[in-house]
Structure 1
Amino acid sequence: MKEIKKTPDHNREAKLKAFDRLLTIMDELRENCPWDMKQTMESLRHLTIEETYELTDAIIENDMQEVKKELGDLMLHNAFYAKIGSEKGAFDMADVLNSVCEKLINRHPHIYGDVEATDEKTVKENWEKIKLKEKGDQKKSVLGGVPKSLPAMVKAMRIQEKARGVGFDWEKKEQVWQKVEEEMNEFKAEFNIENENQIDKEKAQSEFGDLLFSLINYARFVDINPEEALERTNKKFIKRFQYLESESEKDGKSMGEMTLEEMDRYWEKAKSLK
């Protein structure tokens, strides 16, 4: 095993004490609070999803205080699930933590073994290969680990990353862009704005999906997270639209009664603001 560099953590005792405090509070709530006593993994599931999205909002806004708060909420959920697992006799927090520790050690042989990996690409490829080996005789698909309930854009990213992990990927970004242009032309052929004929909506939808998938693929090649990029655009649109609403109201104008040209004037002003 290679020598592992370690940075001294002078605050480790305080961290462990805080984690122990959380576990203690979780035990107390589960024993004494009517709401906490009633919860199941199933009832917590949608709340966990909501907390995860709140964390992503805080990260995009670069609000460190909110990130801290939302991380705490998710940590609480982790402790809650582990507590319920313990009550069922399935697992406890020690099992959860030791499981992930063993996984990290096993999937980082370049740190805890004799494998050489000097770049991120090699690390990711090794990760996927080790995952397949861990599955053993189950012979599951490389893509089997992608959650079915992921939002479509995030799922596309994970599918592409996993395929890349076993070597199924384009070699150059230029090749990916050619694919984008190819899919754009195919979509245009199915949904030509100059053609008044009724389109085959199902086929056009299929071509549009192919176009989005190829754009997501290109974003990955140029190190852009498409989910984050789209969400930033969403937030930018909301900010500008709300400016349009508030400023036009100050001028005594109603959104439903203004012409598009009038609204565009407010929109252009909103674009000039940071």
Structure 2
Amino acid sequence: MGVTIVGLGPGSFKHITLETWDILTGAGTLLLRTEKHPCVEVLKARGLGFTAFDHLYEQAEDFASLYRQIADKVIAEARRGEKIVYAVPGSPLVAEKTVELISSQAKAAGISLTIIPAMSFLEVLYTRLGVDPITGVTIVDAADLAALPPDLATGLIITQVYSRQVASEAKLTLMDYFGDEYQVTVVRNLGLPDEEIVKVMLFELDRLPVIDHLTSVYVPPRQARSKVFSLDPVVDVMARLRSPGGCVWDIEQTHLSLRRYIVEEVYEVLEAIELADGVKLCEELGDLLLQIVFHARVAEESGGFTMQDVVDTVTEKMVRRHPHVFGEITVRDAAEVVVNWDKIKKREKAGERTNVLDGIPIGLPSLMAAFKLQAKAAKVGFDWADIGPVWDKVAEELSELREAVALPEPRRSQRAEDELGDVLFAVVNLARFMGIEPETALNAANNKFRRRFSHIEAALAAQNRRWEDMDLAGLDVLWEEAKEKEAKE
């Protein structure tokens, strides 16, 4: 008592294996899932008797019940003590639901089961379309298309597209994934003399002249960006650059030597933001990220930390400092968020910072450092109550600068430098009261000057004039032109 399952191959009789042919010719009871297979006529011509289940196709309510009925009948025949050979189109283990059901029932009933390898239509399809399955292919019955994952990244082979109605339903489902004009390949009668391979747009899928039980559809993978975010590509590139045989310059760099580059990249990011240039901003953020990855790689090589440590540390910090998002604390507004942030940060740094002004990096640009020093002092009450006295302080420092400039040398140089520093420090304080970051404001002013000066330079070149040909009044006219041009943009 047992069942042997064989496959009749993709179509042509020549695709049946010698092992399968020996089993077919020696079968006591030969059962076919369907007679609708090109090589069945050859079986008849060579005198092989069989029973097919095609009559059940017309009686069954749906394919699920059809496949169950076929499996039940095969197992029933085996229970009588017969040695059953059950033959299916293609390969027994490719898109054959009846084989799955028979396997399950045979195991439960203690019936021996043997499945013989066979060639499926897939091997022919891979060859005809030049598809390498190792790159990833999803194979699905047309009836199961609704279960496709929304982020399908592989090529798709759809089997059992046996009628125009099935093709129409498949078309509607696929258009939700790929759009109406996504090109697919329809294959029919693969491996037979009248083999057909045609490329059509999805909206044309159900308009083909002939669609039958030997029709399948291949949908190529979408050329889309992965939705899974990963730093691996840039991390791997940096590891290669720093490895033996990599780039000599990159290998020689240290944390100290890289300082200037990370500062430069920050300012280039600021420039892109100032210009409202999305393409440039994307590029400059990439350059800034590269510097972070560079430092992480240098640290990893010395056993300090890794890029993953950098990501994990900042992630944990953000979760910890946003208890109103990741915890159960509630806040009324953004101001309270800042207050909570400062409290949490103070607790975290309690063991590291004993003085009020601790925690401000020595290497910060001077305007930024002044801003942070004043903000730190303000948190402990060393600040004016409103902006009025700040204006007065700026005026006072400007007056003292004028007095210093009027002094005779050598006292003038040192006093003027001191007083100019006080003026700048007072202006930073003014910016703080106005809610303006002075470093950003000055950077924007620098970029604005660069643009306007470039306009003057271009205008002189267009007029074939030299700088020495112009007086300040003439240059000022061109400067005003640049301002008017910016105002219109």
TM-score range (shorter-chain normalised) is 0.7 to 0.9
- Where does structure 2 lack aligned partners over 5 or more consecutive residues? 1-150, 152-225
Whether the aligned pair in 2 keeps the contact of 1:117 and 1:123 (CA below 8 Å) is: yes
Equivalent residue number for residue 4 of structure 1 = none
Equivalent residue number for residue 180 of structure 1 = 394
1:14 aligns with 2:250: no
Partner SS, residue 273 of structure 1:
helix
What is the CA-CA distance between 1:219 and the residue it aligns to?
Answer: 1.5
Relative distance call for 1:138 and 1:224 in structure 2 (3 A) is closer
Q: C-alpha distance in 1, partners of 2:369/2:326?
A: 30
Q: C-alpha distance in 1, partners of 2:267/2:423?
A: 26
Q: C-alpha distance in 2, partners of 1:21/1:215?
A: 45
Q: C-alpha distance in 2, partners of 1:213/1:205?
A: 12
Equivalent residue number for residue 5 of structure 1 = none
Q: C-alpha distance in 1, partners of 2:417/2:251?
A: 47
Equivalent residue number for residue 50 of structure 2 = none
Q: C-alpha distance in 1, partners of 2:238/2:348?
A: 33
Q: Which amino acid aligns with 1:270?
A: A
Whether the aligned pair in 2 keeps the contact of 1:60 and 1:228 (CA below 8 Å) is: no
Q: C-alpha distance in 2, partners of 1:224/1:99?
A: 29
The structure 1 residue matched to 2:447, chosen from 228, 235, 245, is 235
Q: C-alpha distance in 2, partners of 1:168/1:106?
A: 29
Relative distance call for 1:94 and 1:37 in structure 2 (3 A) is same
Q: C-alpha distance in 2, partners of 1:271/1:105?
A: 45
| Structure 2 counterparts to residues 102-117 of structure 1, below 5 A | 102-113=316-327, 117=331
The structure 2 residue matched to 1:141, chosen from 349, 355, 376, is 355
Partner SS, residue 349 of structure 2:
helix
Whether the aligned pair in 1 keeps the contact of 2:353 and 2:359 (CA below 8 Å) is: no
What is the CA-CA distance between 1:153 and the residue it aligns to?
Answer: 1.0
Q: C-alpha distance in 1, partners of 2:340/2:466?
A: 59
Large movers: runs of 4+ above 6 Å:
none
1:44 aligns with 2:248: no
What is the CA-CA distance between 1:255 and the residue it aligns to?
Answer: 0.9
Q: Which amino acid aligns with 1:60?
A: E
What is the CA-CA distance between 1:139 and the residue it aligns to?
Answer: 4.2
Partner SS, residue 43 of structure 1:
coil
TM-score w.r.t. structure 2 length? 0.47
Q: Which amino acid aligns with 2:261?
A: L
Partner SS, residue 136 of structure 1:
coil
What is the CA-CA distance between 1:212 and the residue it aligns to?
Answer: 1.4
Select the structure with the greater relative contact order (CA < 8 A; seq sep ≥ 6).
1
Indicate the larger mover: 97-106 or 134-143.
134-143
Whether the aligned pair in 2 keeps the contact of 1:128 and 1:162 (CA below 8 Å) is: no
Equivalent residue number for residue 369 of structure 2 = 155
Relative distance call for 1:127 and 1:263 in structure 2 (3 A) is same
What is the CA-CA distance between 1:68 and the residue it aligns to?
Answer: 0.9
Q: Which amino acid aligns with 1:240?
A: R
Equivalent residue number for residue 63 of structure 1 = 277
Partner SS, residue 211 of structure 1:
helix
1:44-97 per-residue CA deviation (whole Å, 9 max, x = no partner) reads 333222222221221221111111111112222222322332222221223222
Q: Which structure has the highest helix share of the two?
A: 1
Q: Which structure has the highest strand share of the two?
A: 2
Q: C-alpha distance in 1, partners of 2:408/2:303?
A: 63
Q: C-alpha distance in 2, partners of 1:26/1:264?
A: 49
Whether the aligned pair in 2 keeps the contact of 1:248 and 1:255 (CA below 8 Å) is: yes
Q: C-alpha distance in 1, partners of 2:288/2:453?
A: 32
Partner SS, residue 149 of structure 1:
coil
Q: C-alpha distance in 2, partners of 1:120/1:23?
A: 36
Q: C-alpha distance in 2, partners of 1:115/1:182?
A: 46
TM-score w.r.t. structure 1 length? 0.79
What is the CA-CA distance between 1:209 and the residue it aligns to?
Answer: 1.6
Relative distance call for 1:266 and 1:70 in structure 2 (3 A) is closer
Relative distance call for 1:253 and 1:205 in structure 2 (3 A) is same
Whether the aligned pair in 1 keeps the contact of 2:271 and 2:447 (CA below 8 Å) is: no
Q: Which amino acid aligns with 2:413?
A: K
Relative distance call for 1:132 and 1:102 in structure 2 (3 A) is same
Relative distance call for 1:245 and 1:125 in structure 2 (3 A) is same
Structure with max Cα Rg: 2
- Where does structure 1 lack aligned partners over 5 or more consecutive residues? 1-9
Indicate the larger mover: 65-74 or 80-89.
80-89
Partner SS, residue 171 of structure 1:
coil
Equivalenced residue count is 261
Relative distance call for 1:238 and 1:73 in structure 2 (3 A) is closer
Q: C-alpha distance in 1, partners of 2:329/2:355?
A: 25
Relative distance call for 1:138 and 1:262 in structure 2 (3 A) is closer
Relative distance call for 1:110 and 1:231 in structure 2 (3 A) is same
